[in-house]
Chain A
Amino acid sequence: MNSQAERGSGERPRIDVPRTSAAGFVALAIVSWIYIVSGDSGLWELFTVETWKEAGDFLRRLVGLETDGTSAFLDAASWKKALRLSVETLAMSVLAAGIAGAAALLTFLPGARNVGFGQSGGARSRVGVAAFFVTRGAFAFTRSVPELVWALLIVFVLSPGVLAAALALAIHNYGILGKLSAEVVENLDPRPARALRAAGAGWGQTLLYALLPQVLPQFITYLLYRWEVIIRTTVVVGFVAAGGLGREFRLNMSFLHYDDVGLLLLCYLFLVVGVDLASAGLRRLAR
């Protein structure tokens, strides 16, 4: 908006991107709602007494107020199992973050426009430009496909378990981390690298002493943020990749053991809050 004023009055007004986009989004929203509500959407059922009665029943069973036998919340064996699965889920999330972080750290560099196009050290080469597009394409592809879909594909090759789940989570997050770190490199202060090169440093030395020290803190921060997202998603991937809380959640849902589901949800919430706190603490160390 300010940029238009700065451009001066001599120029023809260009398309107002935010305004047209907002209008476009509103139009899209209207069409989408009409499309959904015009079918058998279940919208009107939301306003019936039966729906709310059933939802209330489900909620009561979820919190263990209505069970056949002992509620899972009062059963030591259920707690023990849930805690073991929580630890396994935590390990899955750490492993996923670790694999994604390591892979992104090894490959983000060619994905930065200024590196690939030779603006920061080295000449512009066809190889660099090609590597830029290949890397960015890989980031876009891995990032666009959700973790759950990766998991569905991976269980065709790997046995269901911790590794399969972690790998599915890692592939998606690799694309996100790679893109973010490549963008960090693009926005770097070019002066340290220039100074080093002027002093006769080679490409490897520039990388080690100018690029990485600037990129790493930001990279670690992103990685820790992603860990918070990963722990939330680990349960979902566990539905198909059969690891951690997700598998047990799915089983208990299909056996209609809703009090067990409630216990697992409680553990899930504690895990999410715990990881959020741990990530915030670790991020403070990275600064």
Chain B
Amino acid sequence: MDSRRLLTILLAGALAWSLFSVDWDRDLVHPGGFGSLADILAALFSLDLSPSFLKVALSASWTTVAYATAGLTLACAIGLPLGIVASGSLGRGIPARLAGMAAVRLMLALLRSVHELVWAWLLIVAIGLSPMAAVLALAIPYAGILGRIYAEVLNDVPEAPLRALRASGASEVGVLLYGRLPMALPDMLSYTFYRFECAIRSAAIFSFVGVRGLGYELQISLDDLLFEQVWTLLFFLVALVVLVDLWSSSVRRSLTS
């Protein structure tokens, strides 16, 4: 059978199966759910823009940025060495190194398989609720992703300059430092900046396990049914993400052009 037709059938089948998992007979909407929806939408036109609340939102935004940045830098610091080992650019052929490479790849996969909020929760039970737990929880899965991408980028650099380095007597470490890394750096930087946007969003939801930031304020406002504040905080979050997105895409454009 034509592979595209097979794909269509598989995707349609999966979607149909998933629809059956919803219990359509039960009340899908709360009693009073439409009332809340109306309240939420009405609040959009009466945003809370009082100076005192704007100050709260601004300081929460900064906290979120700080967690995201700290987490991402730690992720780079963990991901770079792991990525180098996983790329096998420290030399191949020796069975011990090959085993090390496979082990690191498996570890990277394990790190990134678990969502950062699940990591956060596990870490908080393990080491206690603290800002460091949040930074670590962000850094662990992001190190898994960055490490894998770094490994791929390091593997994809053109071979010819590396051969030239080897011919002139450079060791594998020399080839890595003066050949692979400088050539891979633009792509690595570009991907890391792309992840910055995601890190902001991730940092915003750590509130759920009790860490401060935009999500924390959002949850307080939601608990008090203050939808005017909820919308203001949402717009702060959107503005933050869009700003970081603009920054990171301008970096990526200038690196790839």
Q: How far is the CA of A267 from the CA of B163 in the complex (A)?
A: 46
Min CB distance, B204 to chain A, in Å? 6
**Which of B28-36, B93-101, B164-172 forms part of the interface with chain A?**
B28-36
Q: Decide if B155 is an interface residue (CB 8 Å cutoff).
A: no
Q: Within the assembled complex, what's the spacing in Å between the Cα atoms of A143 and B198?
A: 10
Q: Which of B49-57, B79-87, B249-257 contacts A (4 or more CB under 8 A)?
A: B249-257
Distance A245 CA – B56 CA, assembled complex (angstroms): 34
Chain A residues with CB below 8 A from B126, complex form: 54-55, 58-59
Knowing A58-B126, A282-B10, the reply to whether A152 touches B135 (Cβ < 8 A) is: no
Contact yes or no, B247 A39, CB < 8 A = no
Query: Does A18 contact B189, Cβ atoms closer than 8 Å?
Result: yes
Q: 10 A-B Cβ contacts within 8 A?
A: A22-B189, A42-B128, A42-B130, A98-B18, A144-B242, A145-B237, A148-B215, A162-B23, A236-B205, A265-B118
Q: Which residues of chain A are near B78, meaning CB under 8 Å?
A: none
Closest CB of chain B to A173's CB: distance in Å?
Answer: 13
Contact A98–B241 (Cβ < 8 Å): no
B33/A157 in contact, CB under 8 A: yes
B-chain residues with CB within 8 Å of residue A28 when the two chains form the complex:
65, 69
Interface string of A220-258 (1 = CB under 8 A from B): 100000000000110110011000000001000100001
Given A36-B66, A98-B15, A157–B30 Cβ distance below 8 Å? yes
User: Given contacts A45-B130, A91-B17, are A33 and B238 in contact (CB under 8 A)?
Assistant: no
Question: Are A148 and B117 closer than 8 Å at their CB atoms?
Answer: yes
Stretch at the interface among A127-135, A193-201, A268-276: A268-276
Determine how close the nearest CB of chain B comes to the CB of A56; give it in whole angstroms: 9
* A107 on interface, CB distance cutoff 8 Å: no
CA distance A46 to B133 in the complex (A): 9
**A163 CB, nearest partner CB in chain B, Å:** 5
**Shortest 4 CB-CB distances between A and B: which pairs?**
A42-B130, A91-B21, A17-B254, A144-B241
Residues of B within 8 A of A67 (CB): none
Nearest A residue (CB) for B193 = A21
Q: Choose among A62, A92, A145, A159 the residue that contacts B27 (Cβ–Cβ < 8 A).
A: A159
The complex places the Cα of A161 from the Cα of B222 at a distance, in Å, of 19
Residues of B214-232 contacting chain A, CB below 8 A: 215, 218-219, 222, 230
> Majority SS of interface residues in chain B?
helix
Other-chain residue from B10, B36, B255 in contact with A156 (beta carbon distance below 8 A)? B36
Instruction: Check: B160 CB closer than 8 A to any chain A CB.
Output: no
A68 to B109, CA, bound (A): 32
User: Which listed residue, A25, A39, A92, A145, touches B234 by the CB 8 Å rule?
Assistant: A145
A208 at interface by CB-CB < 8 Å: no
User: How far apart sit A166 and B186, CA to CA, in the bound complex (Å)?
Assistant: 37
- Tell me whether A66 is interfacial, beta carbon within 8 Å: no
A286 at the interface (CB under 8 A from B): yes
Task: Given A17-B251, A32-B66, verify A144-B18 contact (CB < 8 Å).
Answer: no
Q: Looking across the interface, which residue of chain B has its beta carbon closest to that of A161?
A: B23
B residues in contact with A286, CB < 8 Å: 4, 7
B113 touches A (CB below 8 Å) = yes
Minimum Cβ distance to chain B for residue A83 (Å): 14
Q: How far is the CA of A22 from the CA of B247 in the complex (A)?
A: 11
State the CA gap A28–B204 with chains docked (Å): 17
Contact in complex: A149, B23 (CB < 8 Å): no
Say if the beta carbon of A43 comes within 8 Å of chain B: yes
Let me know if A95 is at the binding interface, CB within 8 A.
yes
Contact yes or no, A39 B222, CB < 8 A: no
In the complex, which of the residues B21, B115, B122 contacts A235, with contact meaning CB atoms closer than 8 Å?
B115
A43-55, CB under 8 A of B: which get 1 and which 0?
Answer: 1011000010011
Docked complex Cα distance between A98 and B13 (Å):
11
Q: Which of A143, A149, A233 has the most chain B CB atoms closer than 10 A to its own CB?
A: A149
Name which of A59, A144, A239, A265 has the most chain B CB atoms within 10 A of its CB. A144
In the bound complex, do residue B127 and residue A88 qualify as a contact, i.e. CB atoms below 8 Å apart? no
- A152 B219 Cβ-Cβ under 8 A: yes
> Is there contact, CB below 8 Å, between B15 and A94?
yes
CB pair A157 B67 closer than 8 Å: no
**A156: chain B residues within 8 A (beta carbon):** 30, 33, 36-37, 40, 222
Q: Is the CB of A158 within 8 A of B29?
A: yes
Asked if residues B7 and A265 are in contact (CB atoms below 8 Å), the reply is: no
Q: How far is the CA of A18 from the CA of B187 in the complex (A)?
A: 11
Q: B242 to A152, Cβ gap below 8 A?
A: no
A1-B255, A232-B115, A286-B4 given; 9 more Cβ-contact pairs under 8 Å: A29-B72, A33-B73, A51-B127, A94-B17, A98-B18, A156-B222, A161-B26, A220-B11, A236-B205
Evaluate whether A55 and B127 lie within 8 angstroms (CB atoms) in the complex, with A3-B257, A146-B205, A272-B113 already known. yes
CB proximity of B216 to chain A, nearest CB, Å: 12
Of the candidates B67, B113, B257, the one having the most CB atoms from chain A within 10 angstroms of its own CB is B113
- How close is A247's CB to chain B, nearest CB, in angstroms? 13
